[in-house]
């Protein structure tokens, strides 16, 4: 969509725009000076859960995640809201409060925003963060030998779709909501502290889509072990029911040619690897010698994570998934 704008905004004319249209990543980055770079992002979406407060918290966590995926610290956020004129006021307040309390948890502040009327609710945030330019996590920083770390399990797409169709157990939905409401703050902080140079967050393009972007921009192949990839407790149950959102099928169509599956991997699991996630975890490429320190730091902070593979020199595909 933005590719035609590259001719107008020639990167050579904007040397302080470190990440922009010409170098797609999770957020834009603009260098202020040698010590500070602004990270700018925006995201919003329609409801994926019934509870208004949880919807707001998930929308905020999802928007903030792009700053964390770049290795930054969120500073300021602006509300984005499209709300039906007949929506009960208490629901609008609950959505906004869910977003506000998640921003507060992130240590940032909401400084305003913009609201319009629309038939279907849509909420999210525009977020500005800050990071040292030499500590950014970008999609082109993966090197052969790096280990691949994922900080949240997969399956939110098929579970929330099952819920929309009244096919999901409330306990299963609650587990998915709990993960979607979690900030990616700790994983990003530890990765930056240990000198990681590459990360992305797993959202609408699914694990395979976002991993493929890392591989392409970094000139590597990512090898993943299917048995190590974490799934929500009930993910395989709903995958067997094939309650995937349309985006998951689109992801598979777009990215499967870039993936080679080896060994026994069920159709359900393959599809989960393409499942469109909301507020998913970070996929971090970490120098292998830092793995033990990363594990200790995450354990100290009470955070879960999974080692799912490693980066290899470029082969004929972006990703190899071994069963």
Residues 273-308 have pLDDT tens digits of 999 999 999 999 999 999 999 999 999 999 999 999
Task: Note the pLDDT tens digit of each residue in 78-121.
Answer: 999 999 999 999 999 999 999 999 999 999 999 999 999 999 99
- In a shared domain, residues 221 and 291: yes
Reported confidence tier of residue 224, pLDDT bands at 50, 70, 90: very high
Count how many domains the chain has.
Answer: 2
Reported confidence tier of residue 23, pLDDT bands at 50, 70, 90: confident
- In a shared domain, residues 129 and 142: no
What is the predicted pLDDT for the residue at 11?
76
- In a shared domain, residues 177 and 287: yes
Residue 38 has pLDDT above 90, yes or no: yes
What is the predicted pLDDT for the residue at 212?
97
- In a shared domain, residues 255 and 189: yes
Q: What is the mean pLDDT of residues 11-17?
A: 85
Reported confidence tier of residue 181, pLDDT bands at 50, 70, 90: very high
What is the predicted pLDDT for the residue at 8?
76
| Radius of gyration of the chain from its Cα atoms, rounded to whole angstroms | 19
Query: What CATH number is associated with residue 241?
Result: 3.90.650.10
Residue 74 has pLDDT above 90, yes or no: yes
Residue 161 has which token pair? 């779709």
Residue 71 has pLDDT above 90, yes or no: yes
What is the predicted pLDDT for the residue at 22?
74
Instruction: Examine the fold and report which residue of 99, 134, 169 is the final residue of a domain before the chain moves on.
Output: 134
- In a shared domain, residues 209 and 288: yes
CB 319 within 8 A of CB 310: no
Residue 168 has which token pair? 């999901």
- In a shared domain, residues 209 and 276: yes
Q: Which residue has the higher pLDDT, 2 or 192?
A: 192
What is the predicted pLDDT for the residue at 14?
86
Residue 7 has pLDDT above 90, yes or no: no
Task: Note the pLDDT tens digit of each residue in 123-153.
Answer: 999 999 999 999 999 999 999 999 999 999 9
Instruction: Examine the fold and report which residue of 107, 134, 161 is the final residue of a domain before the chain moves on.
Output: 134
Secondary structure string (H, E, C) spanning the chain = CCHHHHCCCCHHHCCCEEECCCCCCCCEEEECCCCCEEEEEEEEECCCCCCHHHHHHHHHHHHHHHHHHCCCEEEEEEEEEEECCCCCHHHHHHHHHHHHHHHHHCCCEEEEEEEEECCCCEEEEEEEEEECHHHCCECCCCCCCCEEEECCCECHHHHHHHHHCCCCCHHHHHHHHHHHCCCCHHHHHHHHHCCCCEEEECCCCHHHHHHHHHHHHHCEEEEEEHHHCCECCCHHHHHHHCCCCHHHHHHHHHHHHHEEEECCCCHHHHHHHCCCCCCCCEEEEECHHHHHHHHHHHHHCCCCCEEEEEEEECCCCCEEEEC
- In a shared domain, residues 142 and 130: no
- In a shared domain, residues 264 and 318: yes
What is the predicted pLDDT for the residue at 153?
98
Instruction: Examine the fold and report which residue of 82, 115, 134 is the final residue of a domain before the chain moves on.
Output: 134
Global pTM?
A: 0.95
Select from 267, 268, 252 the least CA-distant residue to 319.
252
Would you give the distance in Å from CA 84 to the centre of its chain? Answer: 28
Q: Which residue has the higher pLDDT, 20 or 182?
A: 182
Query: What CATH number is associated with residue 24?
Result: 3.30.1330.10
Residue 2 has pLDDT above 70, yes or no: no
- In a shared domain, residues 105 and 159: no
- In a shared domain, residues 186 and 210: yes
- In a shared domain, residues 217 and 313: yes
Residue span of the structural domain in which 88 resides = 3-134
Q: What values do phi and psi take at 198, rounded to 5?
A: -145, 140
Q: Which residue has the tokens 């279907």?
A: 120
- In a shared domain, residues 235 and 269: yes
Q: What is the mean pLDDT of the chain?
A: 96
Residue 189: CB atoms within 10 A of its CB come to 16
Reported confidence tier of residue 25, pLDDT bands at 50, 70, 90: confident
């Amino acid at each position: 969509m933005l590719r035609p704008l590259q001719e107008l905004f020639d990167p050579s004319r904007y040397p302080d725009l470190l990440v922009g249209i010409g170098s797609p990543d999770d957020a834009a980055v603009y260098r202020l000076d040698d010590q500070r770079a602004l990270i700018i992002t925006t995201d919003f979406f329609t409801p994926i859960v019934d509870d208004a407060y949880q919807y707001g918290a998930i929308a905020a966590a999802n928007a903030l995640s792009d700053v964390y995926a770049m290795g930054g610290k969120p500073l300021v956020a602006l509300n984005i809201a499209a709300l039906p004129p007949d929506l009960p006021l208490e629901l609008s307040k609950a959505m906004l409060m869910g977003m506000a309390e998640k921003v507060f948890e992130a240590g940032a502040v909401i400084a305003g925003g913009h609201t319009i009327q629309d038939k279907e609710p849509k909420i999210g945030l525009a977020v500005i963060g800050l990071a040292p330019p030499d500590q950014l996590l970008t999609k082109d920083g993966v090197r052969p030998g790096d280990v691949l770390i994922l900080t949240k399990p997969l399956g939110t797409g098929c579970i929330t779709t099952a819920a929309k169709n009244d096919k999901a157990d409330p306990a299963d939905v609650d587990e998915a909501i709990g993960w979607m409401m979690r900030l990616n703050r700790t994983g990003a902080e530890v990765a930056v502290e240990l000198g990681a140079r590459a990360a992305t967050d797993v959202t609408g393009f699914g694990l395979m889509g976002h991993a493929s972007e890392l591989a392409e921009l970094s000139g590597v192949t990512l090898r993943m072990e299917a048995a190590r990839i974490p799934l929500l407790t009930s993910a395989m149950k709903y995958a067997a029911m094939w309650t995937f959102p349309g985006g998951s099928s689109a992801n598979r169509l777009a990215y499967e040619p870039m993936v080679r599956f080896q060994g026994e991997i069920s159709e359900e699991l393959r599809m989960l690897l393409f499942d469109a996630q909301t507020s998913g975890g970070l996929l971090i490429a970490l120098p292998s010698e830092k793995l033990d320190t990363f594990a200790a730091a995450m354990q100290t902070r009470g955070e879960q994570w999974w080692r799912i593979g490693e980066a290899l020199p470029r082969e004929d595909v972006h990703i190899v998934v071994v069963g």
